[in-house]
Amino acid sequence: MRKPLALLMAGSLLLAGCGGWSDSRINPGNWFGKSKSTPVATAASGDVNPLIPEKTGLGIFDRPEEEDISLPARQISELRVEPTPNGAIIYATAIAARQGGYDLALKRVPDTAADTLEYTFNVVYPEAGTPTGNEHSRTLRAAVTLSEQDLRGIRTIRVSGAENARETRRR
């Protein structure tokens, strides 16, 4: 009778000591906190000369690059980073300007700080006019998978739209 009681007491003390695991930095669920909304910096369009081509083909069989007709989504409403066994998945939810958006993509912004991953939530709208509709019918979701190597040294993940951006920081 004494051995089971001693094991029960030792087990309960051990279990009581594990209460700090949920707030621990070792817990993968705590690697990134909740996202928060931040303002978006607008780009100055007067710095680029539209008459000078950026890139020309190098060979006679080069095809012209397809024109990117995607636009940033109007508003980013949610950003989540969920850990996986080999990295993380970034989930972003956006509210589009109008209904019918397709070809969603989280496009990486190349010129950012070394400890920051920044993405733009892009969407393509139909050429024909579509109604605005309610917010639920304009909600779009996209995700991108990152490996552990992609996340090495990253402290901030930011997803931006036309009106706002959301970012989350590693604890």
Q: Where along the chain do its domains lie?
A: 28-40+70-171
How far is Cα 13 from Cα 34, in angstroms, rounded to an integer? 32
Q: How confident is the model at residue 25 (pLDDT cuts 50, 70, 90)?
A: low
How far is Cα 64 from Cα 70, in angstroms, rounded to an integer? 18
pLDDT-wise least confident of 44-48, 114-118, 148-152: 44-48
Rounded-to-5 percentages of helix, strand, coil across the chain = 20, 35, 45
Greater confidence, 44 or 155? 155
Tell me which residue of 76, 63, 62, 34 sits closest to 168, measured CA to CA: 34
How far is Cα 16 from Cα 28, in angstroms, rounded to an integer? 21
Mean pLDDT of the chain: 82
How far is Cα 15 from Cα 28, in angstroms, rounded to an integer? 20
